[in-house]
Amino acid sequence: MNYDHLLELVKSRRSIRKFKPDPIPDEYVDKIIEAARWAPSGANCQPWEFVIVKNKETKEKIYEFITEMNPINRKVELTRPSQLQHHGSHGGTDGRPGYMEAPVFIITCSDSRKLQGYHLSSSLTRGRDYHTSAMASAFLCMHLAATSLGLGSQWISATNYALTQARIRSLLGIPGELEIYDTMAVGYPALRPGPRLVREREEMMHRERFDHSKFKSRDQIEQFIAGVISAIDL
């Protein structure tokens, strides 16, 4: 094991928003899932299931379900201060999102019945938090694995809206006991994004006690968020 290699892998992982349509080997998909299945989870409950979608017509239907929510999401976004609005809230172009060119979608589902594996006091208080943390851990492992294989990946969070995931569950035969956590589009990147905005290490480290000189005001937080949003390559 080598820390420098690990750090380089973590820094190399980026959200790719434009893909080549070239197929990727099934072996690569298997390796991505293999990394995810070793992710940490509360009480080792391993609440994840993975649905691999390569069929073009199926991906088109998923995209159709996502776009149904666009007008509502846009209206909601426009209620925020203009500097905090994400790209696309004003309609954007009529072009399709780059992830539709990705040859593979990996839909990650969580089984909330696994909450029974936690101590009862935990499941009654922060059980859902632990459950989400487990799914996020698996998802990060998937992205890192994809990066290590020379692939690009994107986090498609729009598939977990209530209506959207209900329709996807029906389309793919996903049991009602499972929830769609999120979807990863994966394939060969057609472009590389620019430098990523990352906070300085010392800014976020507090030794022994919280350093209140580093505590950000609400205005500073909103300025940071606005800067991050403006730097996103969509």
Domains belonging to the chain, first-starting first, are: 3-231 (3.40.109.10)
Here the tokens at position 213 are 């000189």
| pLDDT value of residue 87 | 66
d(CA 41, CA 133): 7
> Which tokens go with 57?
């017509």
pLDDT value of residue 91: 38
- Strand extents, DSSP E, 128-222: 152-156, 178-187
Which two tokens mark 103?
């040859």
Site of tokens 């009529």: 94
User: Which pLDDT tens digits describe the chain residue by residue (234 residues)?
Assistant: 799 999 999 999 999 999 999 999 999 999 999 999 999 998 899 999 999 999 999 999 999 999 999 888 888 889 988 888 876 544 334 478 999 999 999 999 999 888 888 778 777 777 788 889 999 999 999 999 999 999 999 999 999 999 999 999 999 999 999 999 999 999 999 988 888 889 999 999 999 999 999 999 999 999 998 888 887 754
pTM score, two decimals? 0.91
pLDDT of residue 233: 54
Task: Provide the pLDDT for residue 26.
Answer: 97
Question: What is the rounded distance in angstroms from the CA atom of residue 38 to the CA atom of residue 55?
Answer: 27
HSE (CB half, 13 Å, CA atoms) of 112? 13
